[in-house]
Chains A and B, each alone.
Chain A
Amino acid sequence: DTEVTQTPKHLVMGMTNKKSLKCEQHMGHRAMYWYKQKAKKPPELMFVYSYEKLSINESVPSRFSPECPNSSLLNLHLHALQPEDSALYLCASSQPQVALYEQYFGPGTRLTVT
Protein backbone atom coordinates (compact mmCIF):
# COMPACT_ATOMS: atom_id res chain seq x y z
CA ASP A 1 0.00 0.00 0.00
CA THR A 2 1.68 3.19 -1.20
CA GLU A 3 -1.26 5.47 -0.68
CA VAL A 4 -1.61 8.67 1.27
CA THR A 5 -5.25 9.55 1.85
CA GLN A 6 -6.60 12.99 2.61
CA THR A 7 -10.03 14.03 3.78
CA PRO A 8 -12.06 15.91 2.88
CA LYS A 9 -11.42 16.35 -0.85
CA HIS A 10 -13.07 19.76 -0.84
CA LEU A 11 -13.80 22.16 2.00
CA VAL A 12 -15.56 25.49 2.02
CA MET A 13 -15.38 27.44 5.25
CA GLY A 14 -16.11 30.90 6.51
CA MET A 15 -13.52 33.08 8.15
CA THR A 16 -14.93 32.40 11.62
CA ASN A 17 -15.14 28.63 11.26
CA LYS A 18 -12.93 25.98 12.77
CA LYS A 19 -12.21 22.95 10.63
CA SER A 20 -9.59 20.22 10.33
CA LEU A 21 -7.86 18.47 7.47
CA LYS A 22 -6.86 14.86 7.91
CA CYS A 23 -4.06 12.83 6.35
CA GLU A 24 -3.35 9.14 6.81
CA GLN A 25 -0.68 6.72 5.61
CA HIS A 26 0.02 3.08 6.40
CA MET A 27 3.44 2.72 4.81
CA GLY A 28 5.32 2.89 8.10
CA HIS A 29 6.75 6.28 7.21
CA ARG A 30 8.05 8.33 10.12
CA ALA A 31 8.09 11.74 8.42
CA MET A 32 4.95 13.58 7.36
CA TYR A 33 4.53 16.94 5.66
CA TRP A 34 1.96 19.63 4.97
CA TYR A 35 2.29 21.72 1.83
CA LYS A 36 0.18 24.59 0.52
CA GLN A 37 -0.21 24.95 -3.24
CA LYS A 38 -1.79 27.96 -4.92
CA ALA A 39 -3.03 27.70 -8.49
CA LYS A 40 -0.23 27.47 -11.07
CA LYS A 41 2.41 27.58 -8.32
CA PRO A 42 4.71 24.97 -6.79
CA PRO A 43 3.95 23.44 -3.40
CA GLU A 44 5.19 25.46 -0.46
CA LEU A 45 6.29 23.57 2.61
CA MET A 46 4.38 24.43 5.77
CA PHE A 47 5.27 21.83 8.39
CA VAL A 48 7.37 18.70 8.77
CA TYR A 49 6.90 16.08 11.44
CA SER A 50 9.68 13.60 12.05
CA TYR A 51 9.04 10.71 14.44
CA GLU A 52 5.79 12.45 15.48
CA LYS A 53 7.62 15.60 16.55
CA LEU A 54 7.38 18.91 14.76
CA SER A 55 10.76 19.47 13.15
CA ILE A 56 10.06 22.28 10.68
CA ASN A 57 7.59 25.15 10.83
CA GLU A 58 8.11 27.44 7.85
CA SER A 59 6.87 30.53 9.68
CA VAL A 60 3.26 29.56 9.13
CA PRO A 61 0.61 31.81 10.76
CA SER A 62 -0.85 30.46 13.98
CA ARG A 63 -4.28 30.13 12.40
CA PHE A 64 -2.85 26.88 11.02
CA SER A 65 -2.15 24.34 13.76
CA PRO A 66 -0.66 20.94 12.90
CA GLU A 67 -1.01 17.83 14.98
CA CYS A 68 0.51 14.37 14.65
CA PRO A 69 -1.43 12.04 16.99
CA ASN A 70 0.52 8.96 15.89
CA SER A 71 2.88 7.81 13.19
CA SER A 72 0.06 7.20 10.68
CA LEU A 73 -2.01 10.34 11.13
CA LEU A 74 -1.45 14.01 10.48
CA ASN A 75 -4.02 16.72 11.05
CA LEU A 76 -4.11 20.38 10.17
CA HIS A 77 -6.45 22.45 12.32
CA LEU A 78 -7.78 25.62 10.75
CA HIS A 79 -9.20 28.62 12.58
CA ALA A 80 -9.99 32.18 11.55
CA LEU A 81 -8.61 31.76 8.06
CA GLN A 82 -8.43 34.48 5.44
CA PRO A 83 -9.61 34.30 1.82
CA GLU A 84 -5.96 34.26 0.70
CA ASP A 85 -5.58 30.92 2.49
CA SER A 86 -7.71 29.31 -0.20
CA ALA A 87 -5.48 26.73 -1.87
CA LEU A 88 -4.82 23.03 -2.39
CA TYR A 89 -3.36 21.54 0.80
CA LEU A 90 -1.16 18.54 0.17
CA CYS A 91 0.02 15.98 2.66
CA ALA A 92 3.05 13.80 2.05
CA SER A 93 4.96 11.12 3.88
CA SER A 94 8.38 9.49 3.64
CA GLN A 95 11.07 7.93 5.68
CA PRO A 96 12.89 10.74 7.49
CA GLN A 97 15.65 11.34 4.95
CA VAL A 98 13.94 13.06 2.05
CA ALA A 99 17.03 12.96 -0.09
CA LEU A 100 17.17 9.20 0.01
CA TYR A 101 13.53 8.27 0.34
CA GLU A 102 10.65 9.24 -1.93
CA GLN A 103 7.92 11.51 -0.64
CA TYR A 104 4.48 10.09 -1.34
CA PHE A 105 1.82 12.74 -1.83
CA GLY A 106 -1.87 12.56 -1.18
CA PRO A 107 -4.40 13.99 -3.67
CA GLY A 108 -4.91 17.08 -1.57
CA THR A 109 -7.78 18.97 0.01
CA ARG A 110 -9.02 21.94 -1.98
CA LEU A 111 -9.88 24.63 0.54
CA THR A 112 -12.01 27.67 -0.19
CA VAL A 113 -12.31 30.37 2.46
CA THR A 114 -15.29 32.68 2.01
Chain B
Amino acid sequence: AQSVTQLGSHVSVSEGALVLLRCNYSSSVPPYLFWYVQYPNQGLQLLLKYTTGATLVKGINGFEAEFKKSETSFHLTKPSAHMSDAAEYFCAVSRRRGANNLFFGTGTRLTVIP
Protein backbone atom coordinates (compact mmCIF):
# COMPACT_ATOMS: atom_id res chain seq x y z
CA ALA B 1 0.00 0.00 0.00
CA GLN B 2 1.12 3.52 -0.67
CA SER B 3 0.69 6.61 1.43
CA VAL B 4 1.98 10.14 1.58
CA THR B 5 2.61 12.20 4.69
CA GLN B 6 2.95 15.95 4.58
CA LEU B 7 4.44 17.37 7.75
CA GLY B 8 2.90 20.66 8.70
CA SER B 9 -0.61 21.51 7.60
CA HIS B 10 0.30 25.19 7.62
CA VAL B 11 3.63 26.86 6.85
CA SER B 12 4.30 30.60 7.05
CA VAL B 13 7.34 32.27 5.53
CA SER B 14 8.37 35.84 4.95
CA GLU B 15 8.54 37.17 1.42
CA GLY B 16 12.02 36.42 0.06
CA ALA B 17 12.66 33.60 2.53
CA LEU B 18 13.26 29.94 1.73
CA VAL B 19 10.21 27.78 1.25
CA LEU B 20 10.44 24.17 2.46
CA LEU B 21 7.40 21.90 2.32
CA ARG B 22 7.93 18.36 3.52
CA CYS B 23 6.65 15.14 2.00
CA ASN B 24 7.43 11.57 2.99
CA TYR B 25 6.08 8.53 1.24
CA SER B 26 5.52 4.95 2.18
CA SER B 27 5.72 2.42 -0.61
CA SER B 28 7.04 -1.07 -1.07
CA VAL B 29 8.68 0.01 -4.31
CA PRO B 30 9.86 3.47 -5.34
CA PRO B 31 6.78 5.24 -6.61
CA TYR B 32 6.29 8.12 -8.95
CA LEU B 33 6.03 11.36 -6.96
CA PHE B 34 4.28 14.64 -7.69
CA TRP B 35 3.73 18.07 -6.23
CA TYR B 36 0.53 19.93 -7.11
CA VAL B 37 -0.52 23.46 -6.17
CA GLN B 38 -4.08 24.67 -5.66
CA TYR B 39 -4.90 28.36 -5.58
CA PRO B 40 -8.16 29.46 -3.93
CA ASN B 41 -11.26 28.44 -5.85
CA GLN B 42 -9.23 26.72 -8.53
CA GLY B 43 -8.30 23.21 -9.59
CA LEU B 44 -4.90 21.66 -9.09
CA GLN B 45 -1.84 22.43 -11.20
CA LEU B 46 1.22 20.21 -11.51
CA LEU B 47 4.37 21.86 -10.16
CA LEU B 48 6.80 19.00 -10.81
CA LYS B 49 7.15 15.24 -10.80
CA TYR B 50 9.75 12.55 -10.29
CA THR B 51 9.60 9.37 -12.34
CA THR B 52 13.14 8.16 -13.03
CA GLY B 53 16.57 9.61 -13.58
CA ALA B 54 17.89 12.74 -11.91
CA THR B 55 16.72 12.94 -8.33
CA LEU B 56 16.64 16.75 -8.27
CA VAL B 57 13.60 17.84 -10.20
CA LYS B 58 12.93 21.39 -11.29
CA GLY B 59 9.41 22.59 -11.78
CA ILE B 60 7.46 25.69 -12.62
CA ASN B 61 7.53 28.99 -10.73
CA GLY B 62 11.05 28.36 -9.39
CA PHE B 63 10.16 25.31 -7.32
CA GLU B 64 12.25 22.17 -7.13
CA ALA B 65 12.18 18.91 -5.20
CA GLU B 66 14.69 16.20 -4.42
CA PHE B 67 13.86 12.52 -4.32
CA LYS B 68 15.78 10.86 -1.47
CA LYS B 69 15.20 7.14 -1.46
CA SER B 70 17.12 6.57 1.77
CA GLU B 71 14.88 9.05 3.57
CA THR B 72 11.71 8.19 1.58
CA SER B 73 11.27 11.92 1.10
CA PHE B 74 10.35 14.32 -1.69
CA HIS B 75 10.52 17.76 -0.11
CA LEU B 76 9.56 20.85 -2.12
CA THR B 77 11.73 23.96 -1.97
CA LYS B 78 11.95 27.44 -3.42
CA PRO B 79 14.86 29.74 -2.59
CA SER B 80 12.83 32.92 -2.32
CA ALA B 81 9.12 33.08 -1.55
CA HIS B 82 6.86 35.41 -3.47
CA MET B 83 3.46 36.63 -2.39
CA SER B 84 1.93 34.78 -5.34
CA ASP B 85 3.17 31.46 -3.90
CA ALA B 86 0.48 31.54 -1.21
CA ALA B 87 -1.64 28.48 -1.91
CA GLU B 88 -2.33 24.89 -0.88
CA TYR B 89 0.33 22.38 -1.88
CA PHE B 90 -0.29 18.65 -2.26
CA CYS B 91 2.25 15.89 -2.52
CA ALA B 92 1.00 12.81 -4.40
CA VAL B 93 2.21 9.34 -5.30
CA SER B 94 1.26 6.82 -7.92
CA ARG B 95 2.21 3.23 -8.54
CA ARG B 96 4.60 2.45 -11.35
CA ARG B 97 2.23 -0.12 -12.78
CA GLY B 98 -1.43 -0.87 -12.58
CA ALA B 99 -4.14 1.51 -11.54
CA ASN B 100 -4.19 4.87 -13.18
CA ASN B 101 -4.62 7.04 -10.09
CA LEU B 102 -2.92 9.34 -7.63
CA PHE B 103 -2.85 9.23 -3.85
CA PHE B 104 -2.69 12.69 -2.32
CA GLY B 105 -1.22 13.84 0.97
CA THR B 106 -3.30 15.97 3.31
CA GLY B 107 -1.87 19.21 1.96
CA THR B 108 0.14 22.13 3.31
CA ARG B 109 -1.18 25.66 3.23
CA LEU B 110 1.59 28.14 2.51
CA THR B 111 1.20 31.69 3.78
CA VAL B 112 3.67 34.35 2.63
CA ILE B 113 4.09 37.31 4.96
CA PRO B 114 4.99 40.63 3.34
Contacts and interface: CB of A to CB of B under 8 A. Distances in A.
Contacts of B44: 43, 90, 92, 103, 105
A99 interface: yes
Nearest to A106: B43
Contacts of A60: none
A55 B107 contact: no
B101 A98 contact: yes
Interface in B26-59: 32, 41-46, 49, 51
State the majority secondary structure of interface residues on B: loop
Interface residues of B, number: 21
A105 B43 contact: yes
Contacts of A99: 32, 51, 94-96
B90 interface: yes
Interface of B: 32, 41-46, 49, 51, 90, 94-96, 99-102, 104-107
Interface of A: 4, 31, 33, 40-43, 45, 48, 50, 55-56, 90, 92, 96-100, 102-103, 105-108
